[in-house]
Amino acid sequence: MLRSLTRMPADMSSDSRRQLLNAVTDLFLLDQEPSDLAKEHYGEIAMHSLSNLESDARKGYAEQVAAVPTLPHKVAVTLAGDTNADVARLVLTLSPVLTDTDLAAIAVSQSQQHLVAIAERARLSEGLTDILVERGDRTVLHTVSANEGAQFSDTGFERLLERGGDDSDIATALSQRSDLASNRAQRVLRIVEQLSESSDSSAQPNKAQLVVRHARQQRFEVRLLIADLVAKVREVDDVLLMLADEDRAYHLAQVLAQISDIGTEQALRVLMQRDASGIAVLCRSLGVGEEAFRAILNLRARRLYFSSQDIDDDVLDYGKLDPATADRTLRFLKLKTKIG
């Protein structure tokens, strides 16, 4: 069927192509592990259709497949590079198919709206943030500054301060980051203080100072929470519930890393990847209850645009996950990471 559909007549109307693409996409998405041949044929159909669809139809299609991990690479790249940012936005933000190379090529050539969408991704490498900081306007800089999943090289961080250091919103966003190394945090604090001294209005500087103080308090609080867990003064579930409900992804990753003996970066990657298998294995090996696990899934849903049905399905699967299997899997992953 897929093979015959790739030979679509050239005179099909835009609406007919849209209907055909929707129908074939529904069939394609039924198979969670399509063969390479099926992906190839589906990709041909999608590519033939997209070039003849109006913007609204392309946008609707993009929203349907943005987060699909089996989407053919060439389709994801085409959607992400669409000159209409409304079409590209969700694919740029959510697609697990796009590589750093794909995103970098779009970041250096497309509009500021495209850059904002990239800046909203759950994870951003140093190379990508370097481009965003260099090319982005104030909105892009605000977005990437506040994204705790964005990693900054020393060069990129310096360039961000150079381009946005006089913007109190950017300085405040940076001050709220819980992952800043102490030397970077001190530099941001000095910028906030300088902005406070030079501002004609006392309201904004005071607010910025409060934000900095709050960020410091949160970092101190996490250290205390970890100490309490080590001393068995607090329950793991209670701490995870609190951090998840407060949407503190990085602090949650820090706690998970500490109590499972893995790196914080690895814990954050497991927490924020679209497939819930990794975070399920980690939580089950730690004996985390379903209520706390659901709270963690809700945090992920707020950032990765999951539906409530996705959460219910993942909680159901979590309840069936054997603790011994999860523990063996985690030990294997730890060993693999140390060897690598």
Q: What is the pLDDT along the chain (340 residues), one digit of tens a residue?
A: 444 444 444 545 667 667 778 888 888 888 888 889 989 989 998 998 888 889 999 999 999 999 899 999 999 999 999 999 999 999 999 999 999 999 999 999 999 999 999 999 988 999 999 999 999 999 999 999 988 889 999 999 999 999 987 787 888 788 777 677 767 877 887 777 777 666 554 444 455 556 556 666 777 888 899 999 989 899 999 999 999 998 888 889 889 998 988 888 788 888 877 788 889 999 999 999 999 999 999 998 887 767 778 889 999 999 999 988 888 888 877 665 544 4
Residue 236 · residue 243 · CB < 8 Å: no
Residue 5 has what pLDDT? Answer: 45
Asked if the structure places residue 312 within a domain, the reply is yes
166 contact partners, CB below 8 Å, separation of at least 6: 195
Asked if the structure places residue 25 within a domain, the reply is no
Question: Taking the CA atoms of the chain, what radius of gyration do you get in angstroms?
Answer: 23
Residue 214 has what pLDDT? Answer: 67
Residue 16 has what pLDDT? Answer: 66
Asked if the structure places residue 151 within a domain, the reply is no
Asked if the structure places residue 67 within a domain, the reply is no
Asked if the structure places residue 258 within a domain, the reply is yes
Asked if the structure places residue 209 within a domain, the reply is no
- Per-residue buried b or exposed e for 263-278, using 16+ beta carbons within 10 Å of the residue's own CB: ebebbbbbbbbbebeb
Asked if the structure places residue 205 within a domain, the reply is no
Residue 335 has what pLDDT? Answer: 61
Question: Can you give the chain as a three-state secondary structure string?
Answer: CHHHHCCCCCCCCHHHHHHHHHHHHHHHHHCCCCCHHHHHHHHHHHHHHHCCCCHHHHHHHHHHHCCCCCCCHHHHHHHHCCCCHHHHHHHHHHCCCCCHHHHHHHHCCCCHHHHHHHHCCCCECHHHHHHHHHHCCHHHHHHHHHCCCECCCHHHHHHHHHHHCCCHHHHHHHHHCCCCCHHHHHHHHHHHHHHHHHCCCCHHHHHHHHHHHHHHHHHHHHHHHHHHHHCCCCCHHHHHHHHHHCCCHHHHHHHHHHHHCCCHHHHHHHHHCCCCHHHHHHHHHCCCCHHHHHHHHHHHHHHHCCCHHHHHHHHHHHHHCCHHHHHHHHHHHHHHHHHC
Residue 282's domain spans which residues? 235-339
- Number of domains within the chain: 1
Asked if the structure places residue 275 within a domain, the reply is yes
Residue 220 has what pLDDT? Answer: 80
Residue 208 has what pLDDT? Answer: 54
